[in-house]
Amino acid sequence: MPKKYSHVIVIGVDGAGHWFKEADTPCFDKIFADGAITYNALSSKPTISAECWGSMLIGVGPEVHKLTNSRVSTLPYNIFSKFPTVFKRIRKAYPDAELGSFCDWNPITKGIVEKFMGVSHMTARDKELTPLICKYIKEKKPDFLFIHFDSTDGAGHKNGYGTPEHIKAIVEVDKLIGEVYSAAEALEDTLFMVIADHGGTKEENGKGNHGGWTDEEKYVTFAAAGKGIINGEIKAMNIRDLAAIVLYAFGIDAPDFNEKGWTSQIPEGLFSDYKGEYRDISHLTGAAPRISKEHHKSELI
């Protein structure tokens, strides 16, 4: 399968859920005006950071990768796992590729991205991290760059998800997304994506939580822009599909679909040259559309 893009940039916005559609986000709106968007991508269960980012970067469910916040904060990901991250898969296909992981929440780089993959990395709070990202893009022209912003999740925990304070944090991150996109405009042939890992709730004490399976927690934003992207709404998607999308962009064959392993797929209505069928995996997560079957279980902070 031929390589379809020279550069792939993913910006992960922690805890943003589906609330991009509620926020004033001129940068996001401009970038994806001709792109593909959904505010109903299905998160991983439980809706906790490690489980979700692990699913996205590995292409399997939490029951397979078994990553938790505690684990990724203390242990490196097994470099011999039969379920490698997209970083390792790209490195194998393109030994000289420039790979980057710039994350506010450093356990992604330390506990999900494999060691010894030659991945450039940096950690800082969102606003301090962004100029470092822009400098890296301009100087290194990365083939694949994963970015993680965390201030939105912090605002959700502190004030409740979907509250004015949480929405304001998304507005602020929108400016940072615009800065990264501007830095990347000089790169030719780029697939640019923004994705959230989970949403959250507002509790009686005024704070927010996540980890459960309410609609506010499990439905999130995904958007993609680049050549060959179909303009419009993506009807069905799981966040773990990010892995398959990244591999497809680089012309790397994905593993065979297996409900006990690789379950990442290319959503219908994303790439104009992709005609594959999308399998419904809601039975693997208990995610009947728009129905929440479990009481909320909070993530430990």
Q: Give the model's pLDDT for residue 301.
A: 36
In the chain, where do the E strands start and end? 7-13, 36-42, 99-103, 119-122, 144-149, 190-196, 201-202, 208-209, 219-225, 232-233
Q: Of the candidates 11, 72, 42, which has an alpha carbon nearest to the alpha carbon of residue 263?
A: 42
* Domain 7-284 = CATH 3.40.720.10: yes
Confidence of residue 87 (pLDDT cuts 50, 70, 90): very high
- Does the pLDDT value for residue 3 go beyond 50? yes
The model's pLDDT over 170-200, given as tens digits with 9 standing for 90+, comes to 999 999 999 999 999 999 999 999 999 999 9
What confidence score (pLDDT) does residue 55 get? 98
What per-residue confidence (pLDDT) applies to 137?
A: 98
Q: Domain map of the chain by residue range?
A: 7-284
| Average of per-residue pLDDT values in the chain | 93
- Averaged pLDDT for residues 202-211: 90
Long-range CB pairs of 48-51 (<8 Å, 24+ gap) are 48/198, 48/210, 48/211, 48/299, 49/14, 49/105, 49/153, 49/197, 49/198, 49/299, 50/107, 50/111, 50/112
Q: Tell me, what's the pLDDT at 300?
A: 38
Residue 204 has pLDDT above 90, yes or no: no
